Amino acid sequence: MTLSGKIAIITGGTAGIGRATAELMVQHGAKVVVTGRDTARAKNIQPLIDSGAALFVQQDTTDEKSWDAVTGAALKAYGRIDILVNNAGRLIVKPVPDLTLADMRLMLAANLESVFLGLRSAWPHLKARGGAVVNVSAMMGERTASIGLAYSAAKGAQQALTRTAALEGAPFNIRVNTVLPGVIWSDGWKRLAGDRPEETKAGLSTRIPMARVGEPVEVARAIVFLAGDEARNITGVQMMVDGGLSAG
Ligand SMILES: NC(=O)c1ccc[n+]([C@@H]2O[C@H](COP(=O)([O-])OP(=O)(O)OC[C@H]3O[C@@H](n4cnc5c(N)ncnc54)[C@H](OP(=O)(O)O)[C@@H]3O)[C@@H](O)[C@H]2O)c1
């Protein structure tokens, strides 16, 4: 029970990596506040809510005001905040000539500004007794791929934010780390694949040294480790969970 008694906020926790993280954190003894834009998706974590280990707060992470409701709900229900997982993010992949300024601004809002807003909201509460922040970036923020300019730029900036926050948080025992997923078979990918999941997976796997697409729980395990006290001497790192994609 590596997270026994800890209180965690997980953004975008109703699907994919965020949902797997919520489930695993609860298995490890945490209570979790899960956010997402679509209230209907809260049914995906209904068993956690029914068990009393989770609550759902409707939130768009890019909305500054929404953060007061999220931290307020955590404090009201559980009395403190130990862990923040800035997981929610968005992806737009287009060649440069097709990218609009609105696309660029959306990528920066969803993948960078939202992480800043979450960090700033949770900071005073984490500072009170020490805590951990895990930001979910992407392998594309580190080793860029063509036609991912806006996403890679936003995720890369998020990684710079993480390192800086790690330095600022260290004196207060606030650890700030990044997890970098490669290609993970999340709900997002399932939607994109439509009725061709196996072909899509096979196509994606050909570029990965370990020749397999990752599962959300494999990223969740890295997040749980970095969030827990076993990682007490680890801050400011980037942990790739990408089947070796970034090694080449
Ligand atoms: N899957 C991959 O291959 C992969 C690779 C590299 C990095 N990542 C990163 O991993 C993170 C999770 O991705 P995923 O693939 O697990 O996504 P996913 O399966 O599409 O799930 C996304 C979750 O985030 C929520 N969400 C999206 N935008 C939000 C917002 N603005 N505010 C609040 N909640 C929001 C969604 O619910 P609502 O739609 O209801 O809000 C959902 O719960 C993202 O940061 C992504 O960039 C994923």
Q: Which of 151, 179, 220, 245 is catalytic?
A: 151
pLDDT value of position 170: 98
Please name the residue whose Cα sits nearest to atom 15 of ligand 1: 186
pLDDT value of position 127: 96
pLDDT tens track for 28-66: 999 999 999 999 999 999 999 999 999 999 999 999 999
pLDDT value of position 135: 98
pLDDT tens track for 147-170: 899 999 999 999 999 999 999 999
* Domain membership flag for residue 159: yes
The best mutation among 87, 134, 142, 159 to test binding of ligand 1, ranked by most ligand atoms within 8 Å of the C-beta, falls on 87
Q: State yes or no: pLDDT of 102 exceeds 70.
A: yes
Q: Give the whole-angstrom CA distance, residue 151 versus residue 92.
A: 6
Q: Is the CB of 41 under 6 A from ligand 1?
A: yes
* % of the chain with per-residue pLDDT over 90: 94
- Tell me how many domains the chain contains: 1
pLDDT value of position 70: 98
Average pLDDT of 80-103?
Answer: 97
Q: Is the CB of 32 under 6 A from ligand 1?
A: no
pLDDT value of position 145: 75
Ligand 1 center from residue 89 Cα (angstroms): 5
Local confidence band at 1 (pLDDT 50, 70, 90 cut-offs): low
pLDDT tens track for 187-243: 889 998 999 999 999 999 998 999 999 999 999 999 999 999 999 999 999 999 999
Average pLDDT of 166-193?
Answer: 96
Q: Among candidates 84, 75, 74, which has minimal Cα distance to 169?
A: 84
Grouping H, G, I as helix, E, B as strand and the rest as coil, residue 184 is strand
pLDDT value of position 88: 98
* Domain membership flag for residue 23: yes
* Domain membership flag for residue 210: no
Q: Give the whole-angstrom CA distance, residue 19 versus residue 2.
A: 18
Render 152-181 in DSSP notation, one character per residue: HHHHHHHHHHHHHHHHHHGGGTEEEEEEEE
Q: Find the domain containing 156 and state its range.
A: 7-186+215-241
pTM: 0.98
Which H/E stretch holds residue 199?
helix 197-205
More confident residue, 142 or 173: 173
* Domain membership flag for residue 35: yes
pLDDT value of position 147: 83
Q: Give the whole-angstrom CA distance, residue 29 versus residue 15.
A: 20
* Domain membership flag for residue 205: no
* Domain membership flag for residue 108: yes
The best mutation among 9, 11, 14, 17 to test binding of ligand 1, ranked by most ligand atoms within 8 Å of the C-beta, falls on 17
Average model confidence (pLDDT) for the chain? 96
Ligand 1 center from residue 25 Cα (angstroms): 17
Ligand 1 center from residue 22 Cα (angstroms): 13
CA 228 to chain centre: 15
Which of 120-124, 142-146, 233-237 is predicted with the least confidence, judged by mean pLDDT? Answer: 142-146
Average pLDDT of 182-190?
Answer: 93
CATH of the domain at 18: 3.40.50.720
Determine whether 151 is an active site residue.
yes
pLDDT value of position 137: 98
Q: State yes or no: pLDDT of 72 exceeds 80.
A: yes
The best mutation among 14, 60, 107, 245 to test binding of ligand 1, ranked by most ligand atoms within 8 Å of the C-beta, falls on 14
* Domain membership flag for residue 51: yes
* Domain membership flag for residue 148: yes
